[in-house]
Structure 1
Amino acid sequence: VATEVFRRAPNGASFVARVYNELGLRMCVVDQTVEAMLGFRTAAALTDIPHEDLVMWDCGGGSFQLVRTNLCGSAGKFSMHLGRLGDSVANAMLLKLQGREAANCASPNPVSLREAELLIEALEQEMPEAPDWLRDSSGVV
């Protein structure tokens, strides 16, 4: 299964084809909704938390997904909060704030308090508005 990096990359589809042609491995580029559902089902399978209490968060290199069962809707329905801000995006934003080049450093660490505050401001500008179901959630496991 291939996710955000393959969805965004100009050569994503050709790379998937090359992997199949050279190695015989079938890859499937999935959309973010499928990625979110796979994450939720994986989290549900690996925990004893009842599905109705589970909120799954997946922050990958290029995207994030938050998923929970839709308590107000039909069985098998889910609420999702999806976005294109993954950890590599946040790292790139932080390096830019620091005036550093990604090619010249492996990590933005150490991070000053001011840099962290600036990053939070930048991420808040880019982050989609949180849905009501997420704002009303409580508890962390």
Structure 2
Amino acid sequence: MTTPCPCGRSAAKALNPAKSSQAQPLTFAACCGRYLDDLSGTPAPDAEVLMRSRYSAFVLGRRDYLLATWHGSTRPAELTLEPAAKWLGLEVRSQRVQDADHAEVEFVARYREGGRAVRLHERSRFVREQGRWYYVDGDQF
């Protein structure tokens, strides 16, 4: 897939997250696609990458990936995605590594649903178990 990745990560940000210049967006295949398309063989290397790939999964309607990367202690039995939601963009505000197996990522995701603009601002908690990162839960602002 040569289309830009839904998470919006650019080549410059991948190399230097503090860089704010306009750079070429990464393709889906070079960014989140490798995690969504090979969940068992290519786990996300850190909490921010997992969060970005989960955003891409929401955009693409990949319920399987969302459930597989949701920690078992908080994972819902079912997950209904709103098919009318049009995802507009993602801004990662911060990543805070607490220790080798716990991290938080603060982000703002924007989407439109039923003609109404929605802004989801959340600080998500992630845990790593057996080398894989999982979304646990989050606090919305």
Is the structural similarity TM-score above 0.5? no
Larger radius of gyration: 1
**TM-score normalised by L of structure 1:** 0.27
Q: Which protein is richer in helix relative to its size?
A: 1
Between the two structures, name the one with larger relative contact order (CA 8 Å, sep ≥ 6): 2
**TM-score normalised by L of structure 2:** 0.27
Q: Which protein is richer in strand relative to its size?
A: 2
